[in-house]
Amino acid sequence: MTALLQTTIASLPLLGRGKVRDMYAVGEDKLLIVATDRISAFDVILGDPIPGKGKVLTALTEFWLRRLGHQLPTHVTGIAPEDVVAPSERDQVAGRAMVVKRLKPILVEAVARGYLIGSGWKDYQAHGSVCGVALPPGLRQAEKLAAPIFTPAAKAEFGHHDENVDFDYVVGQVGQKTAEAVRAATLALYAEAADYARSRGILIADTKFEFGLDEHGVLHLMDEVLTPDSSRFWPADRYVLGSNPPSFDKQFVRDWLETQDWDKTPPAPRLPPEVMQRTAAKYQEALDRLTQDAAA
């Protein structure tokens, strides 16, 4: 499979490139978002893409948008990406792009946690709480919480880590009404997705959602939804309380990089083919488990 590190679409204005996605303007009110095969680790974009990764991310996002779209509006337009680019550029967007509504983004990471892991576990160890949400004493690493919690993060500039914040921070950014709507939507979306994924042998430890507002101020779900890049997916049969389970993401890449003499600043070491292949297989396994024979 040929990997796509960066798009070269000349028929539309380029608005920007993120860690994974390239974004183009489609008129004044729509965007073309293309998921490349780029992969980042430790906030550095690697020079070696993971073949097929962008198509997996797009397929999963489309699956979840169909499945969860009854909860709130989404950025979906239904326009085929191949219809908005030049014929010679269609191979760059096929299966890995979406034409979406252009919304006003809410500049807060809307994170839902169902298990105590990652930065949430570190916060709990230090303060007994996560993002201002007090938790019972004595919880262990990777423990399932009595109920999912909303633990937002402030978006950081590229190359820096997002910073965990409390609900009052969100209120300060978007106002009480929108903050409450974002929190409610985040927890409802997570609850439905986690129940479904559990039936497929996957535990969603945590995930982050992106929201935006249309011209009428209506909240929409947008961007990437419940993928291995935006979530911790654990195989249920390998979950052990008190330890960090393996996940369906860039674990093989991180593990290999940790063995290298690298200071985690660009450029990153070149990835061996077997690390790229094993990582691609994990992404594909997540897609297969969640979507095969599923009625979305």
Model pLDDT, residue 48: 95
pTM here is 0.94
CA atoms within 13 A on the CB side of 212: 14
Mean pLDDT by 10 residues, the chain (296 residues): 93 96 98 97 93 98 98 98 98 98 96 96 96 97 98 76 90 97 98 98 97 98 96 96 92 92 95 95 96 79
- How far apart CA 253 and CA 82 sit, in angstroms, is 32
Model pLDDT, residue 234: 96
- How far apart CA 235 and CA 266 sit, in angstroms, is 32
Which whole-number Å values give the CA distances from 55 to 20, 36, 80, 166, in the listed order? Answer: 11, 8, 15, 34
Q: CB-based contacts of 284: which residues, under 8 Å, 6+ apart? A: 52, 56
Model pLDDT, residue 21: 97
Is 105-238 a domain of CATH 1.10.357.10? no
* Helices first, then strands: H and E counts in the chain: 7, 16
Shortest CA distance to 37 belongs to which of 47, 26, 27? Answer: 47
Domain boundaries, given as residue ranges, for the chain: 1-102, 105-238
Which whole-number Å values give the CA distances from 246 to 182, 220, 240, 254, 296, in the listed order? Answer: 29, 32, 10, 12, 27
User: Would you say the C-alpha torsion 43, 238, 112, 142 has a positive or negative sign?
Assistant: negative
Model pLDDT, residue 242: 97
Model pLDDT, residue 158: 55
Q: 117 φ, ψ to 5°?
A: -155, 170
Model pLDDT, residue 249: 87
- In the beta sheet, which residues pair with residue 25? 31
State the architecture of 1-102 in CATH terms: 2-Layer Sandwich (3.30)
Shortest CA distance to 296 belongs to which of 117, 44, 66? Answer: 66
